[in-house]
Structure 1
């Protein structure tokens, strides 16, 4: 029994993790539907539509995998419970049989005369005393055995109730899995239609995509130069204050004051725990080099995270720091760079600012209003993280959602 209940505890912990994963993925699907498909697009961007559908299919598939794991775990536990119930029912039947035999024997010798004769036939006072003790023990044993049967019956009933609940849970998961598969089939049909459209003008789409990638690369290189220049300028000011350039300082690395070193150290201590730069959102492009989902021969280099959020949302500072610079693109989009010691967080694609260069900001403070594309209907923040001039993967530093 102890082994069984220990196993049940281990199962419940694992089941809780899977349940949490399932709820998280369902919430992510709702978010994907809300942020990527809610707004009516004025002009169809086939590649973007296809990317959105592929992302939704991927999340649904992950949800199905989680449901399958949860259902398999339930099946395993149902089998264990079924075997345990069979063993307990046999034990209960044996207890009942023993108890019935004991009651029958007790019934046969139930009269007071029989008990009196049993005592009077004793050959000595000591034997009479022993027989009285035996009768008392026998009565106590009958009572205990009756209680044991009651306890065993309760355990069996609890296991049967648990088994029934788990079977219902499994049935519910199977229904949920079927529903997700139906949704995936619908999404795949739409995916096939979009792929057919792309196939007709594949070369034109590839040219436009490569042009866009080249432009993104040019903008990233320009930003790198601006950051290097900002570091050099900051270091010149630091050197003037110190009246000499520290021998340990390296090119393209911040010269840090004791306060800045402490800030950088605190920033590093919060690796994996930093708040997100938006209240809620869906990551539509990850960090690093990745193959294009439609054209495998084309590679995309994600400098940070592209996060689609709700309209009228603001970008939020991920940590205490100082506004290092504010950049403005040819289209009028703003990019705010915040320095956290020798770390820099970049908040790009803003159309309205709440901070200026040199401002001291706090964790969670509103930095600026995120631009909403009127054509696609999407509100996208491009979030990039640096250590000096080296780009970092923001997903490693931000709190897991």
Structure 2
């Protein structure tokens, strides 16, 4: 007997395997903890501050009459943050809508309870009216057939009177709480209206920004020849800087190897095998290197204000088609005259001029190297020890008004993505 269903089973197994990662991702997104209202408000404040920073940087680039890539990058940053602000407001509106629904439910339930309480109280009043005078009460008591029944009727009259008083207090309490809830509901609805108006204004701002972006792209597109020449110059400069940094790293590796060899000779021992691609670490520098690596994702930015205008790796050109550029670090666009700071304790290994990157400062942290490029000036010298957040210079401002720091991190001879080492913004 021939088995014909085996290919079908293989196809089913393949589909299950193919769909499993997506299903896992969906399950992960469903189980992700939602943000609180306080977190959303904090994020909105942070994003609004980022927009203000981008505005200041954009105004500096606008001082030049002609459109520039720096101006385009600042507009892109504003658009990115603007979208986050809009999404943030949408989440706040969802929170408010949920609160409004809950409050409306509570108000409805309290109104129903109040109606029931009033109806019960009306019944009690009607019953009490039948024994409103002392004669009726006495007749009710002395009509008892026994002394025990007399006591029970007396107790009933007292409890009935106390029950009416409690009912009055309960009606008063529910009425007060209902008024408070209605006030809360009115405030929540007003907040929702304000948020909807804010969202509408932010959407208008987003449309304006996109129009400005399109205008700048159109202006830059008319200078295609100049842009292509600039790309070629930039890529040549990237290769030149890469070679300079690589040579400095190799020199430091060789210097550390010589020190290790001479130290071993002085101690009468034999130096450990030395790698041509790794820094020979002493116990002190090994600890420094370990501390640097252990702080990944927690380093302060090399400038206090700014945004990443160009990221690590290969990316398409923002204007030219079919053109890509490589970045061995990140570029941070910031304000004119912004101070540059070391991100960690280390030793300054080089301060030199590398046209067109102007002043370059390289700091060693054990087997890690941080390089700061496009500095107008440096306030440190070779061999100097620096601490975290210590100012090492100021950023250079281009003729087009763009102030941009180029920042790289290397581990021995390997280039790393600096963005993953810095605090999120």
Whether TM-score is above 0.5 comes out as yes
Task: Classify 1:225/1:207 alpha carbon distance in 2 versus 1 (closer, same or farther; 3 Å).
Answer: same
Q: Identify the match of residue 304 of structure 1 among 302, 307, 329.
A: 329
Counterpart in 1 of 2:407?
383
In the alignment, is the contact (CA less than 8 A) between 2:67 and 2:220 conserved in 1?
Answer: no
Counterpart in 1 of 2:102?
80
Counterpart in 2 of 1:260?
285
| C-alpha deviation, 1:203, in angstroms | 4.4
Counterpart in 2 of 1:14?
36
Task: Classify 1:82/1:390 alpha carbon distance in 2 versus 1 (closer, same or farther; 3 Å).
Answer: same
Q: Secondary structure at the match of 2:36?
A: helix
- What per-residue deviation string (whole Å, max 9, x for no partner) do you get for residues 294-348 of structure 1? 2352223232222222333221121122222223213582222222222222222
In the alignment, is the contact (CA less than 8 A) between 2:238 and 2:327 conserved in 1?
Answer: no
Q: Secondary structure at the match of 1:294?
A: coil
Task: Classify 1:332/1:296 alpha carbon distance in 2 versus 1 (closer, same or farther; 3 Å).
Answer: closer
Q: Within the alignment, does 1:106 sit opposite 2:131 as a pair?
A: no
| C-alpha deviation, 1:39, in angstroms | 5.1
Q: Within the alignment, does 1:245 sit opposite 2:276 as a pair?
A: no
Q: Which runs of 5+ in 2 are unaligned?
A: 1-32
Q: Identify the match of residue 33 of structure 1 among 55, 64, 78.
A: 55
| C-alpha deviation, 1:204, in angstroms | 4.3
| C-alpha deviation, 1:377, in angstroms | 2.4
Counterpart in 2 of 1:394?
418
| C-alpha deviation, 1:258, in angstroms | 1.6
CA distance in 1: counterparts of 2:275 and 2:168, whole angstroms: 84
CA distance in 2: counterparts of 1:199 and 1:275, whole angstroms: 36
Q: Secondary structure at the match of 2:392?
A: strand
CA distance in 1: counterparts of 2:159 and 2:366, whole angstroms: 81
CA distance in 2: counterparts of 1:257 and 1:104, whole angstroms: 96
Q: Identify the match of residue 366 of structure 1 among 391, 408, 413.
A: 391
Provide TM-score, normalisation by structure 2.
0.83
Residues 140-289 of structure 1 mapped to structure 2, 5 A cutoff: 140-243=162-265, 244-247=270-273, 249-289=274-314
| C-alpha deviation, 1:68, in angstroms | 2.0
- What per-residue deviation string (whole Å, max 9, x for no partner) do you get for residues 77-109 of structure 1? 323332332232222211221122223322332
In the alignment, is the contact (CA less than 8 A) between 2:220 and 2:319 conserved in 1?
Answer: no
Residues 44-123 of structure 1 mapped to structure 2, 5 A cutoff: 44-123=66-145
Q: CA RMSD in A?
A: 2.6
Counterpart in 2 of 1:138?
160
Task: Classify 1:338/1:140 alpha carbon distance in 2 versus 1 (closer, same or farther; 3 Å).
Answer: farther
CA distance in 2: counterparts of 1:146 and 1:386, whole angstroms: 78
CA distance in 2: counterparts of 1:239 and 1:139, whole angstroms: 102
In the alignment, is the contact (CA less than 8 A) between 1:332 and 1:351 conserved in 2?
Answer: no
CA distance in 1: counterparts of 2:315 and 2:172, whole angstroms: 64
CA distance in 1: counterparts of 2:361 and 2:247, whole angstroms: 15
Task: Classify 1:212/1:83 alpha carbon distance in 2 versus 1 (closer, same or farther; 3 Å).
Answer: same
In the alignment, is the contact (CA less than 8 A) between 2:224 and 2:320 conserved in 1?
Answer: no
In the alignment, is the contact (CA less than 8 A) between 1:35 and 1:282 conserved in 2?
Answer: no
138-147 vs 253-262, greater mean Cα deviation:
138-147
Task: Classify 1:192/1:13 alpha carbon distance in 2 versus 1 (closer, same or farther; 3 Å).
Answer: closer
Task: Classify 1:106/1:390 alpha carbon distance in 2 versus 1 (closer, same or farther; 3 Å).
Answer: farther
CA distance in 2: counterparts of 1:252 and 1:50, whole angstroms: 39
Q: Secondary structure at the match of 2:376?
A: strand
After TM superposition, the runs of 4+ consecutive aligned structure 1 residues lying more than 4 A away are none
CA distance in 2: counterparts of 1:75 and 1:148, whole angstroms: 30
Provide TM-score, normalisation by structure 1.
0.87
Task: Classify 1:231/1:45 alpha carbon distance in 2 versus 1 (closer, same or farther; 3 Å).
Answer: farther
Q: Secondary structure at the match of 1:363?
A: coil
Q: Identify the match of residue 335 of structure 1 among 360, 363, 368.
A: 360
CA distance in 2: counterparts of 1:259 and 1:71, whole angstroms: 54
In the alignment, is the contact (CA less than 8 A) between 2:377 and 2:394 conserved in 1?
Answer: yes
211-220 vs 346-355, greater mean Cα deviation:
211-220
